[in-house]
């Protein structure tokens, strides 16, 4: 039973029993019995709080209809776009290996198709891409319209706070011990008690990052920042999530926000260096790594960052040497095993590549980048079906992984070509 006291001073001993559900109401929506006796809510829709659950169920049911329609459109749209991509690849990217076997008419048809590229490109731009961009903007506008500052919606009462703190401590310890799923369960229990607790939300976002669920993590950190815009952990977390989704310029903006407040923040410095490297500003990135390594020459994060910077510059042998240095400090460093495996792949040493990548996967089965790199390794060896399995697994973890989606389509095209030969 709800035991909220009335906010009217003269009704201080009364409990709230009713609520006004008229959209034009300018008075307090929560009423006690004495409030109801007044004329302020005359002709308004006033309902008993005891029936609120039944009332909200109507909204929940109606909302579910909207959600079901949205999900239907989502899956239909994904299927249509996948088919469009495959058709484009088959028409404009497929290299015919049997030109000598073409008839005159077949060759003329093939060349005529290529000549229609600009026409097809214009059609897709005007009839597909523009409308997709408009639809995306409309969805974002709807999200903004629905958005509520969660802190104003619910705060856990003081008597629950101690239980929340105890669960947070337990979740943190489980995370330190690499019990990721148990830690996530604990944090979910904590959020049931206090749905808008910034500390818990930051930890949940961090747990999602550890599983490379970057899209979900970015939503969690966004939620924190709507309530607490200066939360440095959430700003950095959002930067890491955006970086994981290859949105490097947006990630860099987040790291710069942190560094304005704390110029020596290591997480932001490392994130900034990584983004600068992706933007081919190699010297600027190296200065940051050197700055950290001058303070601690065995800083694993900076050593790995430097190795990755060298890998981006296609200096694979040097990158392997740096990855090995990290692995001498921590033989189970997943990112270094994965990066080292990718270097071997680029050198054409597929057996060595798979050893490193499979060890990384055994240590972190949900590491999206490792899964895509295994897919890349198999694809280069023309093991297209096996490659698709790994790309699909990566997409099941991070549905926003554009690389895996594009490579699945490429593998399917190659399988079709093989079947036609």
Q: Which of 10, 45, 76 is the last residue of a domain?
A: 76
Q: Is residue 266 part of a domain?
A: yes
Q: Is residue 64 part of a domain?
A: yes
Mean pLDDT across 33-45: 83
Residue 288 has a CB neighbour count (10 Å cut-off) of 22
Angle at 188 between CA 182 and CA 190, to 5 degrees: 105
Are residues 169 and 60 both part of a single domain?
no
Are residues 163 and 287 both part of a single domain?
yes
45-80 per-position pLDDT tens digit? 888 888 888 888 888 888 888 989 998 898 899 889
Residue 246's nearest CA partner among 84, 29, 400 is: 400
Q: Is residue 330 part of a domain?
A: no
Among 83-97, 251-265, 268-282, 334-348, name the one with the lowest average pLDDT. 83-97
Q: What pLDDT, on the 0 to 100 scale, is given for residue 150?
A: 46
Are residues 267 and 167 both part of a single domain?
yes
Is the confidence at residue 231, as pLDDT, over 90?
yes
**Pairing mode of beta strands 18-20, 46-48:** antiparallel
182-199 per-position pLDDT tens digit? 988 898 888 888 888 889
Residue 113's nearest CA partner among 130, 89, 131 is: 89
Q: Is residue 163 part of a domain?
A: yes
Q: Which of 76, 106, 130 is the last residue of a domain?
A: 76
Are residues 166 and 267 both part of a single domain?
yes
Residue 2's nearest CA partner among 17, 13, 21, 14 is: 17
Is the confidence at residue 152, as pLDDT, over 60?
no
Task: Using alpha carbons, list the distances in angstroms from residue 70 to 127, 146, 398.
Answer: 21, 15, 19
Q: Which of 295, 310, 341 is the last residue of a domain?
A: 295
Is the confidence at residue 39, as pLDDT, over 80?
no
The CA distance from 263 to 256, in Å, is 9
To which residue do tokens 């206090």 refer? 194
Q: Is residue 117 part of a domain?
A: no
Q: Is residue 285 part of a domain?
A: yes
Are residues 179 and 285 both part of a single domain?
yes
Domain of residue 63: give its range. Answer: 1-76
Number of domains, the chain: 2
| Average pLDDT score over the chain | 88
Mean pLDDT across 165-188: 88
Is 307:336 a contact under the CB 8 Å cutoff? yes
Are residues 281 and 164 both part of a single domain?
yes
Q: What pLDDT, on the 0 to 100 scale, is given for residue 56?
A: 80
Pairwise pLDDT comparison (326 vs 140), residue with the higher score: 326
Is 207:183 a contact under the CB 8 Å cutoff? yes
For the full predicted model, state whether its pTM sits above 0.75: no
Q: What is the 3-state secondary structure (H, E, C) of 323-354?
A: HHHHHHHCCCCHHHHHHHHHHHHHCCCHHHHH
Q: Is residue 215 part of a domain?
A: yes
CATH number at residue 289: 1.25.40.10
């Amino acid at each position: 039973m709800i035991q909220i006291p009335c906010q009217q001073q003269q009704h201080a001993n009364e409990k709230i029993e009713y609520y006004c559900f008229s959209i034009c109401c300018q008075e307090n929506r929560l009423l006690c019995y004495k409030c109801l006796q007044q004329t302020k809510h005359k002709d308004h829709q006033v309902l008993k709080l005891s029936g609120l659950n039944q009332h909200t169920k109507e909204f929940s049911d109606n909302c579910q209809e909207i959600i079901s329609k949205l999900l239907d459109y989502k899956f239909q749209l994904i299927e249509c776009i996948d088919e469009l991509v495959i058709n484009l690849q088959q028409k404009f990217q497929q290299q015919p290996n049997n030109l000598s076997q073409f008839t005159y008419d077949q060759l003329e048809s093939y060349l005529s198709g290529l000549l229609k590229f600009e026409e097809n490109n214009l059609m897709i731009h005007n009839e597909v891409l523009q409308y997709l961009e408009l639809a995306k903007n409309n969805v974002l506008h709807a999200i903004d319209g629905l958005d509520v500052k969660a802190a104003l919606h619910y705060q856990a009462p003081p008597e629950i706070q101690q239980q929340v703190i105890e669960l947070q401590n337990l979740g943190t310890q489980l995370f330190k011990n690499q019990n990721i799923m148990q830690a996530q369960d604990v944090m979910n229990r904590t959020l049931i008690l206090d749905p808008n607790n910034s500390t818990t939300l930051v930890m949940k976002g961090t747990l999602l990052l550890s599983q490379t669920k970057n899209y979900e993590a970015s939503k969690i950190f966004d939620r924190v920042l709507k309530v607490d815009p200066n939360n440095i952990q959430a700003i950095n977390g959002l930067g890491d999530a955006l970086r994981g989704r290859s949105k490097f310029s947006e990630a860099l903006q987040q790291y710069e926000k942190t560094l304005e407040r704390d110029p020596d923040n290591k997480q932001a410095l490392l994130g900034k260096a990584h983004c600068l490297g992706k933007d081919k500003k190699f010297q600027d990135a190296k200065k940051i790594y050197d700055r950290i390594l001058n303070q601690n020459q065995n800083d694993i994060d900076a050593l790995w960052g430097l190795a990755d910077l060298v890998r981006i510059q296609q200096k694979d042998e040097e990158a392997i040497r740096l990855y090995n240095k990290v692995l001498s400090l921590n033989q189970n460093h997943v990112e270094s095993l994965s990066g080292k495996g990718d270097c071997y792949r680029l050198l054409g040493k597929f057996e060595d590549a798979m050893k490193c990548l499979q060890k990384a996967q055994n240590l972190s089965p949900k590491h999206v980048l490792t899964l895509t790199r295994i897919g890349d390794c198999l694809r280069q060896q023309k093991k297209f079906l096996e490659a698709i399995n790994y790309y699909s697994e990566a997409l099941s973890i991070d549905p926003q992984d554009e690389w895996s989606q594009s490579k699945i389509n490429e593998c399917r095209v190659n399988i079709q070509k093989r079947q036609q030969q």
